[in-house]
């Protein structure tokens, strides 16, 4: 059977226009952007164009866009960079207990180094109450880092409210927007953030490229040391091939976001309606309204996620829990939401994309329903 890809939150295919934009820098425009001759100037023009395309999508200045190797580096640079630059002012960071490991593990590491971290809880929908941020801030708080949208259940956080609270207390606001860019509007002034993370491979650009937005005036310690690349903020010769791809990917989002949102929302709603019709008792996780238009975390009572995925012949999805002979490993997000174990153990994440079709959705619903029916009678 033709495979059905419903794991777009894990990674996306490279858009054909993105691939086309990369080709000139693979086949001919190979100059070093730091070189002063014609070859280098051609490459530099490509870097500048890509930076402007990203900035235009985010609603920021070109010089606020820092190219990185991906979302993980951007998160590391943001958190470690503020911790290093502001160590004389304070040593307290606020985050949530549903962050991606690229944020959580950095915070855990910095705790070993003497930083104090507060991990805020979420409600049953995976939503943070801004009042909890207000209550957690102390005079030593230097940063609040909260993801814009959760990668597992799709819940969208009230980043603007949280940023306003952080700023009233003199703290810097960072948001990991790896999952939200390309699925909902992301504008740095609307969100009120000082630092923002983008991962290229989540928005139909290549793997190995990302962005850290750094608002003008924010002091941040260097993460990569060496020559004076990226306006002196990140050493290493620019990867113009990947940057050109990311630039076009961002331009496509700026031009077509409304259409992307409408299509993904229709496909997700069709998926959930079909599952509810075919499988009585299926549970949909995440906020009912404040949720990414493409993300569906669904739980099947008294099932095992890894068994469901193993039995699916053509549907690609992700598990919310891994069941072993002696234990069940439920994701940190589902634990934080206090999802009952009988549902958590049977949770899978289905995420649609720009090119997902109705036929793919209908076939996926039927195949998932067939597997659940068989498993229910084993």
- Cα gap 178→133, rounded to integer Å: 22
**Which sign does the torsion angle of CA 97, 132, 90, 228 carry?**
positive
Among 146, 144, 130, CA closest to 179: 146
323 catalytic per annotation: yes
Q: Rounded to the nearest 5°, which phi and psi values hold at 96?
A: -120, 170
CA 272 to chain centre: 22
Q: Tokens for 212, please give them.
A: 């850290």
Strand-pairing partners, residue 156, are 149
- Cα gap 212→68, rounded to integer Å: 7
Q: Indicate the burial class of 175 (C-beta count within 10 angstroms; 0-12, 13-18, 19 or more).
A: buried
In angstroms, how far is the first alpha carbon of the chain from the final one? 25
Please answer whether residues 285 and 298 qualify as being in contact, where contact means their C-beta atoms are separated by less than 8 angstroms: yes
CA angle (139 as vertex; 133, 144 as ends), nearest 5: 35
99 contact partners, CB below 8 Å, separation of at least 6 = 107, 145, 146, 147, 176
The SS3 call for residue 307 is: helix
- Cα gap 12→371, rounded to integer Å: 26
Please answer whether residues 209 and 244 qualify as being in contact, where contact means their C-beta atoms are separated by less than 8 angstroms: no
Please answer whether residues 220 and 98 qualify as being in contact, where contact means their C-beta atoms are separated by less than 8 angstroms: no
The SS3 call for residue 322 is: strand
Please answer whether residues 220 and 81 qualify as being in contact, where contact means their C-beta atoms are separated by less than 8 angstroms: yes
Q: Tokens for 80, please give them.
A: 């470690």
Among 21, 74, 79, CA closest to 230: 74
Catalytic residues, by residue number, are: 323
């Amino acid at each position: 059977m033709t495979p059905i890809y419903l794991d777009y939150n894990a990674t996306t295919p490279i858009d054909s226009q993105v691939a086309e934009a990369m080709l000139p820098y693979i086949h001919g425009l190979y100059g070093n952007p730091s070189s002063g001759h014609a070859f280098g100037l051609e490459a530099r023009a490509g870097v500048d164009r890509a930076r402007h395309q990203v900035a235009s999508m985010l609603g920021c200045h070109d010089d606020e866009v820092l190219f990185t190797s991906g979302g993980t580096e951007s998160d590391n640079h943001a958190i470690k960079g503020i911790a290093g630059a502001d160590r004389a002012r304070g040593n307290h960071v606020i985050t949530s207990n549903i962050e991606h490991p690229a944020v959580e593990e950095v915070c855990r590491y910095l705790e070993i180094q003497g930083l104090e971290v507060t991990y805020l809880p979420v409600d049953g929908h995976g939503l943070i109450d801004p009042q909890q941020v207000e209550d957690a801030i102390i005079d030593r708080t230097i940063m609040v880092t909260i993801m814009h949208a959760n990668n597992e259940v799709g819940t969208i956080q009230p980043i603007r409210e949280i940023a306003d609270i952080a700023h009233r207390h003199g703290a810097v606001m960072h948001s990991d927007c790896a999952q939200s860019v390309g699925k909902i509007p992301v504008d740095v002034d609307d969100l009120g953030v000082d630092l923002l993370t983008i991962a290229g491979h989540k928005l139909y650009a290549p793997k190995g490229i990302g962005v850290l937005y750094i608002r003008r005036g924010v002091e941040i310690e260097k993460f990569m040391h060496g020559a004076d690349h990226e306006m002196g903020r990140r050493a290493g010769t620019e990867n113009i091939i990947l940057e050109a791809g990311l630039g076009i990917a961002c331009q496509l989002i700026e031009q077509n976001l409304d259409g992307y949102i409408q299509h993904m929302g229709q496909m997700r709603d069709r998926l959930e309606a079909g599952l509810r019709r075919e499988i009585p008792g299926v549970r949909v996780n995440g906020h009912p309204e404040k949720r990414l238009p493409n993300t569906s975390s669904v739980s099947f009572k008294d099932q095992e996620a890894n068994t469901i995925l193993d039995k699916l012949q053509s549907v690609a999805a992700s598990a919310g829990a891994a069941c072993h002979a002696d234990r069940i490993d439920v994701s940190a997000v589902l634990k934080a939401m206090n999802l009952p174990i009988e549902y958590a153990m049977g949770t899978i994440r289905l995420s649609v994309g720009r090119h997902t079709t109705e036929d793919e959705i209908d076939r996926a619903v039927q195949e998932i329903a067939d597997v659940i029916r068989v498993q229910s009678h084993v």
